Each structure stands twice: as C-alpha cells, then as structure tokens.
C-alpha cells in the first residue's frame, strides 16, 4: 500500500507554473528519488504540498487517505509534526543555533503529541543514527558539530516522532564522499527496520542508482521519465536523461587528455596552522601540520580529503587569505610576504573562487561592479573606461552575455553566479586560481559546464588551479595531480590516475571506495 501518493500536481509561484502534472507514489520501506537539474521542480514538488514553500499547489497529494492539497495550515502543521519528517541540504542552517541538540531533539520528539523524552531516550535516539558520543552531543550547540554530525543529529530529529514518510532534500550534497555513503547507508537502515517511506531529492545520480528503488526525472517542472532507478540510469529513455547521466563524473570514465605543465610556480613548505581551542579550554588546535606541496605553471592540482581534514585552511594559508603559524610559501622562488603585507602585485597573482556563489557576491551590487571591484585595488592605474572594457571582455570569456553586467545577483542562477565569481577572479589577470569546492553546490549539468570552462581557461591562460574538493571523480576529470589530506597532513600525493587506481594510504582508499561504489 502506498504511504504517499501524488497525482497531477501543479505548483504556481507568483502566478508562474513551476510544476506541471507531476505524479508518483512512495510505498512503505521504499525510496523514490526525484532527480533533475536546478530549477526542474524537485524541491517544489516535495515541499509545496506540505505548506513549506511559497508555491501554491493544485491537484492531489495524499498521505495515506488524507488529502493535503487544500488542507488548512493547522492541519498541515499537525501532519508535519506527526507523520512526516524532513531532512534538508544544509544542516547548520536547518538547526537553531542558540539551542542545544538535546533541546531541539526534545522539541521534535514532542511534535507528534508524545510526552517529553527522558535523557536516556534521547541518547538512544542519537546513538541509533550513529552520532558518536551521544550523551555529550545533547549538551552541545550545532556549531560545535561537524557537517556529518549535524546531519546525523538532524536525521535523529526528523525520525524522533516515528514518521511514516521521510522527505530528504539533497541531504548529502554538502558532505564528503565518505560521509555521503555513511548517511545514505543510515537512511537505508531506517527504511529496512522501520518500513519508512523515503522521498529523496538529489542531483547525485550515482547515489540514486545505489539507493533508490524508483526514479522520477524532472525537467522544467514536468516528468521527463520515470520507473525503476537502475534501469533508467543504465539506459535513459530521453535525451535529457542521457545528458544527465553523461554529465555525471565517474572514476571509471576514460582519463582526460591534459596538456603538459610548466615550471614550478608555487612552493609551500612545512606549513603549520593552528587555532585557539573554543570555550574555556586553553591551548590550540593544529589544523594543518607540516604540509608541503608544489603547483606548476598551467597545472591543476586537486586537494582532496574528508570534512575537517584541513584542505581549505591550507589553501587559505597558501593564498595569504588565512593565518599561517610557520612555514614558507614561495612564488617563482621568491618568498611571499605574510598576509598583512601582501602588496597588490603579489595579491593579484593568486585569486580565490568560493563554494557558494550566491553568498560570495554582494547582493546589492550589479555584476559589473562585482567583477570590477578587484581592479580598484589590484590595478588602480586603470581608468573607468578601461575597467568597463575589461569587465565586458571577462564576461565574454566566461560565456555570459554583455547585458548581464547590469543584473543583480538575485537575477542569476547558481551556475551564472559561479561564472560571475570566476570572472571576478580572472579580471585582474592572475596566474593561479584557488577554487574551494567551486562546483559542489551546483547540479551535475551546471557543474560539468563550469568544469569545462575551467579547463578551457586553464589552457587559454596557462592558469594554475588549486582545486579543493571532496569528490575524487571531479578531481580526476580536471586535475593532473591529487594531494590527499587527513588530520591536517598531506598523506599521499601523485598523478591523478595513479592515486585513484592504486591508492596507498587508508584515507585515499576510503575516499576511492566511497566514490566508486
């Protein structure tokens, strides 16, 4: 019997039809996945029937025998509290920052009308979702937990009231490969043990193939194809489905044909970075310990590792964007000054591109101002006309029309926002880009196009790329070499093909296993 049935679902936002005639059913213990590019209607199809989006739904969405479409807010609130659990993409923003994990778990527990849980009940609930040291976690605030720990806590809250249906909207896209595999395995266990119906929203087709029973592929708010997940991913029936599958990076793909690299460009030796311990405890936490690496002209080097391994901290220290306790960073055999003494002629050489394109752009500035901002500091001798000409040329280089110069960030898609961020990094004519998870927030089609753009720019400009990622398949597609980090140290380094084919360190082996199964 179906736990949740959607039939002829339509959703409008501000009068615009964003979901049209979508239908599917989820049975007890079953996983149905909604897949598609950004803007395809996945999240709206999930959230609008439950009153969790600005969309106005029409059609039918039944939880058991209860019709959700047309139900009043009080009824929907009761249904959400008793029969449905939700797990969202970014656990840090989904959790209340000023409440402890225990307080939030207790609140979720009582949503379905159950009496307040005992402390031992809550410890058992967190232990069940695999959260380490559950008794201590109850008294901690969300910022004290890692990404994987927060997601486990969020899942614990979502199932605390024993729902019939769990809706997971991109629950693992912000996590590294090992954590993604662990969280998806946890969801499989909950389905098997509790008969939980799972509606999964994801752009990770590999994960869908491993965990979903059925697939509904959306495009422009409509169903493009649907049926058994394994069958449709192995042999998509639509051109759109074939495009999605082809764009998904895999470790088994043929190796890319990358151009030769040049002379050593950047040399980092024995880098150490530490931070004060939080709270009342004294001492420091060593985030990076004795890390060394070399980046050559025109080379793409991937810095890979799990969450908290020190990747971003090392990259920020190298680029003089973050602290460095000791160690040396040389550029063409010249030692770079410390962060506060980086002159424009040095700062121009290494430019960053960050993970979340929307968050890295000033929402009140036009695109032209965003791209031109580095020029005012790094090339102050340029006149207004020269700056405008450079902005136009750089927009063209990242494949954005000239009219985008007058747009605000809110009028851009995720992929367009990231192209603007890349243009801002390029406009000062750097020799190296530091890209921190620059594609992890994008869907597979958009991410693939951004990777193609980076490869083209690397060849055209002879750019060096320091590419921080938790996705080995993405690293393999773009990079000459891979350096693997664990606990602040570089534990393995070498050509990308060798690292993936014959990983020597257990950290690398774990990443390869998580990425390839």
Q: How confident is the model at residue 517 (pLDDT cuts 50, 70, 90)?
A: very low
The string of pLDDT tens digits covering residues 261-292 is: 999 999 999 999 998 876 666 788 898 999 99
Give the pLDDT band (50/70/90) at residue 148: confident
Predicted local confidence at residue 278, as pLDDT: 62
Q: How confident is the model at residue 380 (pLDDT cuts 50, 70, 90)?
A: confident
Return the pLDDT at 181. Answer: 82
Q: Both tokens of residue 431? A: 């020799």
Confirm if 162 and 82 have CB atoms less than 8 A apart: no
pLDDT at 174: 65
Report which of 99, 101, 179 is spatially closest to residue 136, judged by C-alpha positions: 101
CA distance 380 to 427: 13
- Residue 234: CB partners within 8 Å, gap ≥ 6? none
Quick: pLDDT tens for 32-84: 999 998 888 998 999 999 999 889 999 999 999 999 999 999 999 989 988 99
Residue 198's pLDDT band, with cuts at 50, 70 and 90, is: very high
Q: Decide if 199 contacts 162 (C-beta within 8 A).
A: no
| Greatest Cα pair distance in the chain | 72
Round the CA-based radius of gyration of the chain to a whole number and report it: 24
Interatomic CA distance for residues 278 and 281, integer angstroms: 7
In the β-sheet with 264-276, what is the strand arrangement from edge to edge?
Answer: 284-296, 264-276, 326-331, 334-335
Question: Which contacts of 372-375 are long-range, i.e. CB under 8 A and separated by 24 or more positions?
Answer: 372/427, 373/424, 374/348, 374/424, 374/425, 374/427, 374/428, 375/427, 375/428
Closest CA to 515 of 290, 263, 251: 251
| Rounded-to-integer distance, Cα 466 and Cα 302, Å | 6
Query: SS3 for 413-454, per residue?
Result: CHHHHHHHHHHHHHCCCCCEEEEECCCCCCCHHHHHHHHHHH
Give per-residue pLDDT as tens, 410-451. Answer: 888 778 889 999 999 999 999 999 999 888 777 888 888 899
**Distance (Å, rounded) from C-alpha 167 to C-alpha 401?**
38
Tens digits of residue pLDDT in 226-264: 999 999 999 999 999 999 998 888 888 888 888 889 999
What's the pLDDT score for residue 67? Answer: 96
**247 SS3 class:** helix
> What domains are there in the chain, each with its CATH number?
2-247 (3.40.50.300), 249-342+464-517 (3.40.50.300), 360-429 (no CATH)
Mean pLDDT of the chain: 90
Task: Check residue 204 and give its pLDDT.
Answer: 82
- Percent pLDDT > 90 in the chain is 60
31 to 2, 140, 219, 233, 263: CA distances (angstroms) = 12, 32, 20, 15, 51
Q: What pLDDT does 381 receive?
A: 83
Query: Residue written as tokens 């509904």?
Result: 216
Tally of residues, the chain = 517
pLDDT for residue 516: 60
CB 133, CB 146: distance < 8 Å? no
Select, from the ranges 118-122, 128-132, 150-154, 340-344, the one with the highest average predicted confidence (pLDDT).
118-122
In angstroms, rounded to a whole number, what is the distance separating the alpha carbons of residues 318 and 335? Answer: 11
Please tell me the distance from the alpha carbon of residue 320 to that of residue 350, in angstroms, as a whole number: 9
């Amino acid at each position: 019997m179906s736990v949740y049935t959607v039939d002829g679902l339509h959703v409008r936002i501000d009068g615009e039809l964003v979901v049209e005639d979508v239908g599917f059913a989820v049975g007890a213990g079953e996983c149905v996945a909604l897949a598609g590019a950004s803007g395809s209607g996945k999240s709206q199809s999930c959230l609008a029937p439950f009153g969790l989006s600005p969309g106005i739904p029409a059609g039918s969405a039944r939880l058991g025998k209860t019709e959700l479409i047309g139900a009043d807010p009080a009824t929907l609130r009761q249904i959400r509290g008793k029969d449905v659990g939700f797990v969202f993409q970014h656990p840090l923003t989904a959790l209340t920052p000023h409440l402890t994990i225990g307080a939030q778990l207790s609140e979720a527990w009582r949503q379905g009308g159950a009496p307040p849980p005992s402390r031992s009940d809550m410890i058992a609930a967190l232990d069940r979702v695999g959260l380490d040291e559950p008794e201590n976690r109850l008294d901690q605030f969300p910022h004290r937990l890692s990404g994987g720990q927060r997601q486990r806590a969020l899942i614990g809250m979502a199932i605390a009231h024993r729902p019939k249906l769990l809706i997971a909207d991109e629950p693992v896209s912000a996590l590294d490969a090992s954590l993604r595999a662990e969280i998806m395995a946890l969801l499989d266990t909950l389905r098997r043990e509790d008969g939980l119906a799972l509606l999964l929203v994801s752009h990770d087709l590999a994960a869908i193939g491993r965990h979903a029973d059925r697939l509904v592929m959306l495009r422009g708010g409509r169903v493009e194809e649907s049926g058994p997940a394994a069958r449709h991913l192995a042999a998509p029936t639509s051109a759109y489905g074939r495009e999605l599958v082809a764009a998904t990076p895999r470790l088994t793909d043929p190796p890319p044909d990358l151009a030769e690299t040049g002379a050593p460009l950047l040399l980092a030796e024995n880098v150490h970075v530490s931070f004060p311990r939080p709270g009342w405890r004294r001492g420091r936490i060593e985030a990076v310990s004795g890390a060394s690496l070399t980046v050559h002209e025109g080379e793409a080097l991937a810095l890979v590792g799990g969450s908290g391994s020190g990747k971003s901290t090392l990259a920020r220290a190298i680029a003089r964007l973050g602290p460095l306790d000791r160690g040396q960073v040389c550029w063409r055999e010249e030692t770079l000054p410390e962060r506060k003494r980086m002159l424009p002629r040095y700062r121009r050489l290494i430019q960053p591109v960050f993970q979340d394109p929307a968050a890295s752009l000033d929402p009140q500035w036009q695109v032209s101002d965003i791209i031109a901002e580095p020029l005012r500091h790094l090339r102050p001798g340029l006149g207004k006309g020269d700056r405008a000409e450079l902005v136009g040329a750089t927009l063209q280089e990242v494949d954005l029309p000239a009219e985008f110069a007058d747009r605000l960030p809110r009028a851009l898609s995720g992929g367009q926002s990231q192209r603007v961020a890349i243009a801002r990094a390029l406009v000062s004519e750097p020799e190296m880009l530091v890209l921190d998870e620059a594609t992890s927030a994008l869907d597979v089609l958009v991410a693939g196009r951004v990777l193609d753009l980076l490869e083209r720019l690397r060849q055209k400009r002879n750019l060096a790329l320091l590419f921080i990622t938790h996705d080995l398949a993405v690293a393999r597609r773009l990079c000459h070499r891979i350096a693997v980090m664990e606990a602040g140290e570089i534990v393995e380094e070498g050509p990308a093909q060798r690292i993936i084919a014959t990983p020597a360190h257990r950290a690398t082996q774990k990443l390869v296993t998580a990425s390839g199964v």
